[in-house]
Structure 1
């Protein structure tokens, strides 16, 4: 009888063993730079394999920024769980609550960090049990005496996995690659995979003037498609290099028998434009820059499911808490995706999507339509995303669109109230509020 009780306790303990969490984040990687998302022939076999073994989202948005370094707002929202304008007020002394890392530590996770840290609030050394190389938000070079930083970060992640496998406690491994952020330096073999002249550019890349209302472009006018082919070549090469190191991480998990009982997340902080819509940069609200890959795999998660509903990248914080049975605090603004992930459901997460950058760009997306506004110059753009995914046909001057814009603005004003957005949109566009 005693043996049966002991066996039952062991089975019970095993059943409730917390999964390890491996969270891999890249920097400046759009959906176009992942093979599984279906554009341009980029080689990302390991990221694609993760998508095949889990759920991946094609419309995951970063809410916006208050900084030209869009990664800072994105990562600050990610680790603190609050919307854009609340996140902008965070510092080391003023945080809304425990960070993602701290909550996982409270649930018994051993935590490790390697790579880029570029978020407001507490530092890596204050919040993680262990850490490896901590790189700045902007590298001057990827080359160091110890090697290429993509390789260093990948190798440190593998070393931690091999060490953590010997311990009983679950672990949270946050691997933050700087790639494919500038300077786009990698080995020649990766550049050679993407001959510049053969690079396919999206149809929204056209020679000519830069967008007149977008700041922080990383090229000079007029926009040159050949230059943009070079940017794509460099970007793709950096991503494929990173994908190789991601493959090493997966192989280490499998070799240690940890792969199946691990939640693995891959995402980027935001996308980037290489000439699309007249933009060469990331401080804009077009989908190529505002969206980024989001993939999750783990025990009980369906495999090979592509979900198209719109949501936020930062929803992954409460999602992870939900998957390990931790309480989601009331102050948290983002939403758990667990209900739709478990069933691979197409159910909407949000009624609409709000996007904002500084005080000079705003957007609202609902149904088929996306409204982008430039309040300082009283200019607006309207796109039907169902019929025009590249956002090339501005419908704002078409007859019959005023009703659509007014409906979108009603939704936008509600978001302003909910997020604490103090911009006076009614003053900027009085013609839609009469």
Structure 2
């Protein structure tokens, strides 16, 4: 592939958008016309993963282009990115490009922190610069999260702080683009627009909620209690983050589904506003677009809501790349990760700074480079008693825990992950090969050693914040508030 001519780059990030909840991905009823049009003029990546299926670590790894174990920090929602490790924002800015963020960042955000942006507008950072300290309690003493009960209670038609915030983010992005109309910068710019929907609360504007009545949404797969997986990691998560505890009947489930899918359509509407502004200002021909999400959402599958597990609904993400140098209407099945944004952004704007090791340009991958690559996701946060590592290698997904039994899925033959192949003795050689590949991704480290190291850092952060009782007394937050909104502790 010849060198790309430098152009502007617009990155649009959603929060908690399951890759299956896309019309262009073949969803039977979800309505995402703006993202579908973006996919039609670009390439959609069908094996894209988050570095970690929870907000703060995913965003830290996406910023730095490095895996969590490689950084040795930022592994949970109480260890936010502080700018200490250089990000692609730092690299692009240092090369003389304007790089602006609008919306949710979920970094530490304390005075003096430099996250690498030229400017941050409407930035949402973690609460008090500390975030979710309850995530640090991961052993058998971890109490059930109180905020989880609010998931079902908040589902329905209406407006929330998050829908209002996303409208403000979209309006700010429109204004920023309009201000660029007719300008001729010395170097291409990067605009990072980060929305907060479809992250719960599952309160969707009525015109979008009403798109998804009960007869349309049906019921999630494997929702009945006797259908749910019994793997110990899943049991730990469901017990500590009991989102399903507020569900009393089928109507409640379907109201939650309508809320989630309504928020997906609402978010798509905001994406449409931003893309229309790009087109209306005459900047679309000089600007590439990348759309993705920080992680997915279980959306009731297997009785789970939220994220935090390694099933596809949670750990994989939508990813669409469009613009000059990208094949329109194409689909790429090569595994990719949000850590690949670093190399992608640097190439898009013509920045000669070498990307972090392991970060590969989506432009190159879309054209067939590194077709046999593997990608990694890891989890060390709330609801888990031990680490989980996901390796995607071709059609196989290998999920390795510190001590719990591994899981193995053939996503080509079983895209819904209904059959765990790890217990089949006939797969022993395959499991051995995937274990070797995983350890290579982990730099030769033993997964249990990484688990112990993360827990040691978490114990130190817990102690620095007064210990277990002080953190419990601080309370629980069901979700981070937007700028200017008082945290609703429970």
Q: TM-score, normalised by structure 2?
A: 0.73
| C-alpha spacing 1:416/1:87, structure 2 compared with 1 (3 Å) | closer
Q: Cα distance, 1:379 vs. partner?
A: 2.0
Is the contact made by 1:40 and 1:200 (CA closer than 8 Å) also made in structure 2?
no
**Residue 380 of structure 1: aligned partner:** 406
- The whole-number CA distance in structure 1 between the counterparts of 2:411 and 2:439 is 21
Kindly indicate whether residue 411 of structure 2 is the aligned counterpart of residue 389 of structure 1.
no
| C-alpha spacing 1:38/1:129, structure 2 compared with 1 (3 Å) | same
Question: Would you say how many aligned residue pairs link Structure 1 and Structure 2?
Answer: 402
- The whole-number CA distance in structure 2 between the counterparts of 1:152 and 1:93 is 25
| C-alpha spacing 1:106/1:375, structure 2 compared with 1 (3 Å) | closer
Q: Cα distance, 1:362 vs. partner?
A: 2.6
- The whole-number CA distance in structure 2 between the counterparts of 1:362 and 1:24 is 27
Q: Matches of residues 314-333 of structure 1 in structure 2 within 5 Å?
A: 314-329=339-354, 331-333=356-358
Kindly indicate whether residue 21 of structure 2 is the aligned counterpart of residue 33 of structure 1.
yes
Q: Bigger CA drift: 320-329 or 295-304? A: 320-329
**Residue 181 of structure 1: aligned partner:** 199
Q: Cα distance, 1:200 vs. partner?
A: 4.3
| C-alpha spacing 1:238/1:403, structure 2 compared with 1 (3 Å) | same
| C-alpha spacing 1:94/1:307, structure 2 compared with 1 (3 Å) | closer
Highest Rg: 1 or 2?
1
Kindly indicate whether residue 312 of structure 2 is the aligned counterpart of residue 287 of structure 1.
yes
Q: Which of 395, 398, 410 pairs up with 1:368?
A: 395
| C-alpha spacing 1:367/1:224, structure 2 compared with 1 (3 Å) | farther
- The whole-number CA distance in structure 2 between the counterparts of 1:329 and 1:121 is 27
Q: Matches of residues 183-222 of structure 1 in structure 2 within 5 Å?
A: 183-201=201-219, 203-208=221-226, 211=230, 212-214=232-234, 215=237, 216-220=241-245
- The whole-number CA distance in structure 1 between the counterparts of 2:446 and 2:183 is 46
Q: Cα distance, 1:88 vs. partner?
A: 4.7
Q: Cα distance, 1:93 vs. partner?
A: 6.9
| Structure ranking higher on relative contact order (CA contacts 8 Å, 6+ apart) | 2
Cα RMSD of the aligned pairs, angstroms, is 3.3
Structure 1: where are the runs of 5+ without partners? 1-14, 428-434
Structure 2: where are the runs of 5+ without partners? 75-79, 128-146, 381-385, 453-490
**Residue 415 of structure 1: aligned partner:** 441
Q: Matches of residues 18-417 of structure 1 in structure 2 within 5 Å?
A: 18-64=6-52, 70-89=54-73, 95-97=84-86, 99-119=87-107, 127-136=116-125, 143=160, 148-169=164-185, 170-201=188-219, 203-208=221-226, 211=230, 212-214=232-234, 215=237, 216-220=241-245, 227-329=252-354, 331-341=356-366, 343=367, 345=368, 348=371, 350=373, 352-358=374-380, 359-376=386-403, 378-417=404-443
Q: Secondary structure at the match of 1:390?
A: coil
Q: Secondary structure at the match of 2:101?
A: strand
- The whole-number CA distance in structure 1 between the counterparts of 2:42 and 2:443 is 36
Q: Cα distance, 1:317 vs. partner?
A: 1.6
| C-alpha spacing 1:405/1:225, structure 2 compared with 1 (3 Å) | farther
- The whole-number CA distance in structure 2 between the counterparts of 1:259 and 1:339 is 21
- The whole-number CA distance in structure 2 between the counterparts of 1:381 and 1:93 is 34
Is the contact made by 2:326 and 2:363 (CA closer than 8 Å) also made in structure 1?
no
- The whole-number CA distance in structure 2 between the counterparts of 1:213 and 1:126 is 34
Q: Bigger CA drift: 228-237 or 251-260? A: 228-237
Q: TM-score, normalised by structure 1?
A: 0.82
Q: Secondary structure at the match of 2:60?
A: helix
Q: Secondary structure at the match of 2:279?
A: helix
